[in-house]
Each structure stands twice: as C-alpha cells, then as structure tokens.
C-alpha cells in the first residue's frame, strides 16, 4: 500500500477548495445578475499522425466569454495517452469571443483522436476583462504560474496555454492545474513535460476572466475519493440547485509526477466534471484530483 505523505500536503493546499466559499464584498459595485447564459461546443479530429490538435468554441454574437473547458478522446486504447495541453479564453473586437482547447499526445497514439472545446458565454458583464500573465521562456520539466484579478473583481474562470518555442512541436506537455482559488481572486496553472521531457523551450500563460462579482457568486470545490496510485481519477462538483454554472477548474497535486495529466475539464448543466489519467504507468501515489466550479444566482 503506498504511503500517504503526498495526500497530506495536497489536502492542506486544497483545504479551501474542498469547501464552498462565497466572496466577501470587494467594492461598491452593485452585484449584477447573470443573464443570457449559454454553453456552446465544437470538436475536431486529429488528422493522420498529428501529435497536437485544437478545437475552438465561439460565443454567439453580442455575448462575452465567461468560462469554458474541454476534453480529449481516442477510445479505450488511446485516451490515456492524451492530455489537455491548453484551455483558455479569448475576446476579440473583430470576431466573437470564445474558448480554445489544445489536445496533445503524451505518448504516441495508435489511432485518430478528437479534441472538444466548450465555451460558456453570457450577456456583457460590468468590469469584464481577461488578465493574462506569462512565465519566461525556459526548459524546465514543470512550470506553474498565477494570474490575479484587480482588487474590486473576482475570477469567473481560469485558463492556461502552453507556448512552444519551436516550429511544429511534437506535443508532450500536458496541463496539471487550471483553476481559481477558493476566494476567486487568483487563478493558477501548471503544466508538465511527459516522462523523458521535450527537447525545446516553452512557457506557460495563465488566464483569469475577471469581473465585478455577480449576484450569488461562489466557488464550490471537491476532491476525488481515489487518492492513491490509481490509473484514472474523476471528480464532479455542482452548483446549488438555483445556481448557474460559470466555469469549471481542475487541479492535480503540485508535486504530482510527469506521468499524470488532465484529460477532461467539462461543464455538464450545473455541474463540472474533471478526469485525470496516468499517461504512463507509475507506482507513485499522486493523490486526489480537485474540481472547483464557479456559480452565480
């Protein structure tokens, strides 16, 4: 039976994620009610032996991006070899807002596979903005970063994007964290190279979709019941029955091994669902997987 020191560290780090947290007032701005909420999706299938592929889900005209998510799927024999490399929002003056998901092969796939993106959109919100940070170019095997909303605002969602400093990257970098803090003021991201690493430099962008907190703003979090060295772990969290789901966030332990990556971070009605896989077998205990959902009334 594996020892449990990693779980103890992770449980402390995620203590607030595992509970429901409501944001305290952060300014004089009156809370707005979220209206016009919609969830749109788009899928794309990797052609031939392409090691990376992307899908973009776009909001309807006049809507703003609030959150999003996605997953990669290659069937029973391939899905565990795949990971979400990037999942991030964008806004545009020329086109509609949306959400991008990039899937990658952490190990070579033996058949075509699909990446799906979801965009959660709403009518324009007061103070809506996307905060973006980027780490320096590096050759580290694992990179983590944060983005912080202005003091009068809270994060509606988190995002992460891996930047490759090479033409035609061959994949091999997967997300392990893309989530908000329990108080909603910070977003966190973490990505790791596959076992054995990659041969080029890269950096990590962290996104926070920020706005004045809408009415009923709260962060709800849960940890998976599987907390040892299982090959796959899943967990879900739900908004209150009268709540509206704005986004889904996910996290694996910060010191989880390179053999572990996020595969699924998706919205399902008022619920967020997260799955992480061992992309290569490991006996190391990589602890629980966390999900948090951001809700409003």
Which domains, and CATH codes, for the chain? 5-296 (2.60.120.690)
| Exposure string for 266-285, b = 16+ CB within 10 A, e = fewer | bbeebbbbbbbbbbbebeeb
pLDDT at 247: 98
At 255, the pLDDT band (50, 70, 90 cuts) reads confident
Measured distance CA(144)–CA(16) in Å, rounded: 19
Copy the structure tokens of residue 119. Answer: 């965009």
At 22, the pLDDT band (50, 70, 90 cuts) reads low
65-116 tens-digit pLDDT: 999 999 999 987 789 999 999 999 999 877 789 999 999 999 998 888 999 9
* Closest residue by Cα to residue 225 from 217, 212, 234: 234
pLDDT at 3: 41
Q: Which of 14-23, 45-54, 143-152, 253-262 has the lowest mean pLDDT?
A: 14-23
Inform me whether the pLDDT recorded for 13 exceeds 90. no
Inform me whether the pLDDT recorded for 238 exceeds 70. yes
pLDDT at 86: 98
> What is the DSSP annotation of 79-147?
GGGEEEEEEEEE--SSS--EEEEEEEESS--SS--EEEEEEEEES--TT-EEEEEEPPPB--SEEEEEE
Residues 27-42 have a mean pLDDT of 84
Residues 148-167 have a mean pLDDT of 97
Query: What mean pLDDT, rounded, does the chain reach?
Result: 90
pLDDT at 11: 45
At 289, the pLDDT band (50, 70, 90 cuts) reads very high
User: At 203, is the secondary structure helix, strand, or coil?
Assistant: strand
Percent of the chain with pLDDT over 90: 78
Strands (E), the chain: 21-22, 38-45, 52-58, 64-73, 82-90, 98-105, 114-122, 129-134, 142-148, 154-164, 173-180, 186-193, 202-211, 218-223, 232-238, 244-252, 260-268, 271-278, 289-296
Inform me whether the pLDDT recorded for 2 exceeds 90. no
Pairing of strands 21-22, 64-73: unpaired
Inform me whether the pLDDT recorded for 267 exceeds 90. yes
pLDDT at 77: 79
| Exposure string for 96-114, b = 16+ CB within 10 A, e = fewer | bbbbbbbbbbbbebeeebb
96-105 tens-digit pLDDT: 899 999 999 9
Measured distance CA(144)–CA(146) in Å, rounded: 7
Q: Which of 53-62, 75-84, 174-183, 269-278 has the lowest mean pLDDT?
A: 75-84
- pTM strictly above 0.95: no
Question: Which residue has 């926070």 as its token pair?
Answer: 208
Inform me whether the pLDDT recorded for 6 exceeds 50. no
pLDDT at 99: 98
At 52, the pLDDT band (50, 70, 90 cuts) reads very high
Inform me whether the pLDDT recorded for 24 exceeds 50. no
Measured distance CA(192)–CA(175) in Å, rounded: 6
Copy the structure tokens of residue 142. Answer: 């694992």
Q: Are the C-beta atoms of residues 111 and 127 closer than 8 Å to each other?
A: no
Residues 147-152 have a mean pLDDT of 96
């Amino acid at each position: 039976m594996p020892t449990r020191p990693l779980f103890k560290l992770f449980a402390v780090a995620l203590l607030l994620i595992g509970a429901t947290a409501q944001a305290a007032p952060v300014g004089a701005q009156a809370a707005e009610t979220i209206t016009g909420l919609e969830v749109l999706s788009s899928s794309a299938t990797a052609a031939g032996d392409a090691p990376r592929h992307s899908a973009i889900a776009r909001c309807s005209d006049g809507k703003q991006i609030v959150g999003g998510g996605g997953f990669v799927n290659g069937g029973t024999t391939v899905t565990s070899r795949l990971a979400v490399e990037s999942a991030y929002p964008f806004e545009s003056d020329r086109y509609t807002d949306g959400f991008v998901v990039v899937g990658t092969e952490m190990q070579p796939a033996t058949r075509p596979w699909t990446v799906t993106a979801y965009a959660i959109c709403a009518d324009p919100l007061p103070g809506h903005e996307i905060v973006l940070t980027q780490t320096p170019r590096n050759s580290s095997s694992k990179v983590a970063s944060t983005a912080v909303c202005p003091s009068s605002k809270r994060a509606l969602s988190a995002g992460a994007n891996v930047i490759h400093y090479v033409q035609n990257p061959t994949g091999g970098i997967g997300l392990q964290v893309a989530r908000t803090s329990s108080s909603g003021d910070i977003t966190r991201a973490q990505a790791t190279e596959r076992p054995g690493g990659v041969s080029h430099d890269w950096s990590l962008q962290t996104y926070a979709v920020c706005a004045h907190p809408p009415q009923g703003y709260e962060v709800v979090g849960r940890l998976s019941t599987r907390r040892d060295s299982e090959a796959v772990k899943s967990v879900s969290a739900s908004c209150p029955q009268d709540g509206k789901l704005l986004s889904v966030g996910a996290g694996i332990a910060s010191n989880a091994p390179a053999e572990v990556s996020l595969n699924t971070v998706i919205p399902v009605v008022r619920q967020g669902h997260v799955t992480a896989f061992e992309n290569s077998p490991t006996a190391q205990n990589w602890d629980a997987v966390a999900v948090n959902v951001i809700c409003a009334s």
